[in-house]
Structure 1
């Protein structure tokens, strides 16, 4: 009696016996560019071939691309951005990754196929990019490529991540030069009449980032118990203001210094007066820092006001972000342990805090040595 041919349901692929005695499975699978194509798998027995067919179907059901041949980086990177990065990362991160893919990775190394990409290819790419741009740009592109290839490994398109075998470009650390205590006090004195005075106090005393200041809501501020909650940040992306979780998606509760309470109370009274004046034009956004009609302030306007006040006080202009370093300087000089400084500033890694900590310790050591010089010079002459 002839053996009955085994059939699979529609859409489940086919298995046929070849002239060489092997079995061949054919299944339609998704490609990295979103299209569909037939993928073939082979086995010595029908059962072995059927197992491979089922594996291909499982990947197709999960939306995992299975290229019929090794995909080019120019095909994989856009898929990775759209299906891996966009659903899981912040919009700001997506935009940064997309820029590196569009400007550098695809034009300079996009023709390479995933499986044929080697360590030497990645190293040549980084060297060339660093010559054309900067070491920082090359280092960031290396990070983007390494992340994209890691995703390809997880989806079994690659067996190893060659980008992880290449050392990133070395970037010269930016020299920290925050304001001294006297400069900070001069700035706060000059900013007292500015509408954003409370924002500047928070930046200096608590090290809040600009996006965290703009994204602060009154529900995040507990003036009675003197606690401030950092739960979100507001940024402008693609021409629109949007709110997202704090950097590193780490919310934090920080004790509110006493000197912040009065400026925030004063600011709330000013905002209430602005609301009465605006009348129906007021848009109740619940944000702490708003425009005259209740809209959240623009992040760039916070920095512009910060710069204007610094100039009016005759101070050297620094970045608003450097106020975070100034906060770290004051905390460390007060003897606060690095781990506590890390939690206050919301650093994702203790190494970031230690970079600031080491800088401050060096200044403290220099001051201690100068004290020693003065003490030794006071020794009276014996005669």
Structure 2
């Protein structure tokens, strides 16, 4: 029988036998911060331990970091937010992720280390959070944790994403209640005298989001060719207005409906008069909807005006975003293909369009079934 090697060349690590009968390999490996540290691996036999030693050496040769001690979630999650999310994602996304990390993930599961975090730990966390908050909150925290662990896998801190193995909670879908066609027409009639009349027409006929309305500039509106370009949105974050890409970074060019042209032309005339009256106080930013001094209108004020007009018309108050839903409802009921509706509204996936407006699709299905019944109606029996 060949004699087992007790020593390895310098830098190749060592294998020793422990008092408990197991074998222990020790190899200097690269750490995520660029330093080197000793990593231990264990096996029941010398051969098993030697295999693990060789695997560690292969990672050393390829420059792959092998942490000697797994970081706690409470340590990894803040690093992930500041180093990975903040430079690459939208500020609103960072704020949402940061809130879930601060309020739920770190307090409830932050003591767990990345390598020791198991499927049962994630499942237990989700059950506790659902009881403490809501299923929707637990579902969102699950998504944040899964995204953070995916980054940890990419940096080779862990070998698998246990959050991806756990099914997230099922949150009840929000019941949509957009206006009917008659209610929509009553609102548009009542909004004609409002300074934001053109904004409401765009929200209803084109389904623009509130941030897209506030961020709209005259350079994005071509009244001659009847085209509107959705290139950005304006949001308020931590007391500051800022411009950002549209949701999902989906910039789009949409034909302007004929009923939008007149309100936009009237609004442009009023905009020019306001600029002349403001004089030196005017702050030119190119925005379509502005304050008396040219600054972009506050996003919350758009909804306040929307609510005020709805109440004055005796209509039930809905979210401004529900007017966007109403746009898709009208388009779908008019027979517009879902793919076209998706492009007009800027949805990232066709499934979003179909899921949100299922009730309209069901009505279309009923009509199709009724037509089939008429076509397949059994002929009278012959005498």
Band of TM-score, shorter chain = 0.7 to 0.9
- CA distance in 1: counterparts of 2:15 and 2:164, whole angstroms: 44
CA 1:49–1:322: 2 relative to 1, 3 Å: closer
Instruction: Please list the CA deviations of residues 186-213 of structure 1 after superposition, one character each: whole Å capped at 9, or x if unmatched.
Output: 0000000111000000000000000000
Query: C-alpha displacement at 1:47, in angstroms?
Result: 10
Residue equivalent to 2:235: 235
Residue equivalent to 2:292: 292
8 Å CA contact 1:210–1:299 kept in 2: the answer is: yes
- CA distance in 1: counterparts of 2:86 and 2:107, whole angstroms: 21
Residue equivalent to 1:6: none
CA 1:356–1:25: 2 relative to 1, 3 Å: closer
Query: C-alpha displacement at 1:362, in angstroms?
Result: 3.2
- CA distance in 2: counterparts of 1:364 and 1:51, whole angstroms: 61
8 Å CA contact 2:30–2:60 kept in 1: the answer is: no
Instruction: Please list the CA deviations of residues 74-121 of structure 1 after superposition, one character each: whole Å capped at 9, or x if unmatched.
Output: 111111111111121111001100100000000000001111111111
Q: Which structure 2 segments of 5+ residues have no match?
A: 1-9, 18-23, 41-48, 372-383
Instruction: Please list the CA deviations of residues 4-40 of structure 1 after superposition, one character each: whole Å capped at 9, or x if unmatched.
Output: xxxxxxxxxx948769599966467445xxxx76422
- 2:354 is paired with a residue whose SS is helix
Residue equivalent to 1:119: 119
Indicate yes or no: 2:269 matched with 1:269: yes
- CA distance in 2: counterparts of 1:49 and 1:149, whole angstroms: 22
- CA distance in 2: counterparts of 1:258 and 1:55, whole angstroms: 62
Residue equivalent to 2:219: 219
- CA distance in 2: counterparts of 1:253 and 1:357, whole angstroms: 23
CA 1:261–1:170: 2 relative to 1, 3 Å: same
CA 1:116–1:343: 2 relative to 1, 3 Å: same
Q: Which structure 1 segments of 5+ residues have no match?
A: 1-13, 60-65, 372-383
CA 1:328–1:23: 2 relative to 1, 3 Å: closer
Q: TM-score, normalised by structure 2?
A: 0.84
Q: Which of 39, 42, 45 is the matching residue for 2:37?
A: 39
Q: Tell me how large the CA RMSD over aligned residues is.
A: 2.8
8 Å CA contact 1:41–1:53 kept in 2: the answer is: no
Aligned length: 347
CA 1:368–1:18: 2 relative to 1, 3 Å: closer
Instruction: Please give the residue correspondences for 1:194-205 in structure 2 after superposition, counting only pairs within 5 Å.
Output: 194-205=194-205
